[in-house]
Chain A
């Protein structure tokens, strides 16, 4: 919990952003403009992925340049489960027969678990290093998974894998863009709640202390490694969940979800919005997608202008967009 003016202002700005993101597709739906609903869904899903990264990067100071691995793993879970359910072929038959699934809750659960499980060995090795070595090792792991997906013909290889019918959520028609948006938006809110809860907990205190001063954390008797490993796994799980939604949104998953450009994009979202800020990923994703669609229509070189903004944020506004509008963080 943060006290003082900073907290109320930051929370207020966050609520306004969340309300805007909700209102935008509702208006678009009323005006029968499904393209804009999809745009808002893209914002929500990328924000969700960035909330995951923000837990490792923002709270823990772990600059993972490999979070696309988890984003892609989540995407492939959705794609592979759906393909097997569609074709009625089991994914594996021992010790029991598993047919995959076209149910979103089942896919989400699997995406969360498998991403977290993948993060444990990756984190256990990467976290033995720090600084630029950590960045490079996480990148290397993500590239390994990327090339594996490229060369694995069973699920489309470099052509990717289509999801023929969007996976289902009980009681909703997910083919309807607004329904899908609401599902993604709901999960984003849950993830924000998880982030806020973790940040304010004992675990969050240890994680943030480790970012500020690793020696201090160890000197009071808390081993930084285990705290960071658990944070890395939680972070990966959230990003993996976002990957599953992203695959369902596009009804397509390909190795590009696993690419280092994707990892970079996630870092950009977090930095743009404000590293470690609760609503930073939301602000970052909204601005990013807005930029991509508004400037992307005018020039193919829209990323040049995004780069300029990023440069400005890094040089002049370390707190990102949330820092500009809501001021400096105060820890109680």
Chain B
């Protein structure tokens, strides 16, 4: 088995009396899509926040390529290659789609302390940004301010920004949320090809997408992972059926 890219051990986080993350351990291995599922309020987004660094965990370890990143800030973890998309689109609303992606390209290239060259004539920013927009099907909306994009387009833009970062691992928090069936299908196909570039930790409610994509699934309930395994193992896991999937699955 290949060495894990991202390795989380016994992660804990409480908000008052609420145990949002209660001893979670999981791995993300090269080339895989590891889906994280669970009912609403199970702590999936809180877990993503802790991995990305926007919420600090109480105890436990987060190792990324063998380095403990648990004490680093969000920006530093992103620089190390954790490419994250948000459950609720988080964009620069006044900037066009293109400029949102260009910001990621600029961050990937290194210094933002450059004061002279205008970005809008900088091909080294525009070309990679356009490439990312094309891959996510947003190229013809490049000049539209993010605030004027449709919900689905904003979800695509989230992915385009994550792509442009060229991350070593993707943390995707419900990328399909609010997308129509058509959008979900094309995004599913896209994510399927994306795993070749970097492994994906995927939080998703769309079970069709999860079962189609995931190499492994972990089920989170009340901050604990109650089961972890292949798609077939999870489908037939009695506790999972009871707690989450119901008899329909």
Contacts and interface: CB of A to CB of B under 8 A. Distances in A.
Given A212-B94, A213-B93, A218 B78 contact: yes
Nearest to A207: B112
Given A201-B119, A219-B84, A223-B73, A331 B78 contact: no
A196 to B, nearest CB: 9
Contacts of B111: 202
Interface in B158-179: 161, 165
- Most central of B93, B107, B116, B125 by chain A CB within 10 Å: B107
A68 to B, nearest CB: 26
B119 A218 contact: no
B119 A215 contact: no
Contacts of A22: none
B75 A206 contact: no
B80 to A, nearest CB: 8
Contact of A329 (B75, B84, B94, B99): B94
Where chain A touches its partner, the secondary structure class is helix
Contacts of A227: 112-113
Contact of A201 (B93, B99, B118): B118
A88 interface: no
Interface string A213-248: 101111111111001001000000000000000000
Contact of B91 (A198, A213, A330, A331): A213
A331 B95 contact: yes
Interface in A66-83: none
A200 interface: yes
A211 to B, nearest CB: 9
A207 B210 CA distance: 38
Nearest to B74: A218
Contact of A220 (B78, B119, B122, B143): B78
A223 B76 contact: yes
B103 interface: yes
Task: Give the interface centre of A203, A221, A331 by most chain B CB atoms within 10 Å.
Answer: A221
B92 A1 contact: no
15 contacts: A1-B121, A3-B120, A200-B119, A202-B111, A202-B114, A202-B125, A209-B103, A212-B92, A212-B94, A216-B92, A219-B75, A220-B104, A227-B113, A331-B145, A332-B143
Contact of B95 (A209, A218, A219, A223): A209
B188 interface: no
B35 interface: no
B15 to A, nearest CB: 19
Nearest to A4: B143
A151 interface: no
Contact of A206 (B98, B106, B108, B122): B106
B52 A332 contact: no
Contacts of A330: 145
B90 A201 contact: no
A129 interface: no
A101 interface: no
Nearest to A201: B115
A222 B75 contact: yes
Contacts of A205: 99, 102-103, 106, 112, 119
Given A218-B74, A221-B75, A200 B92 contact: no
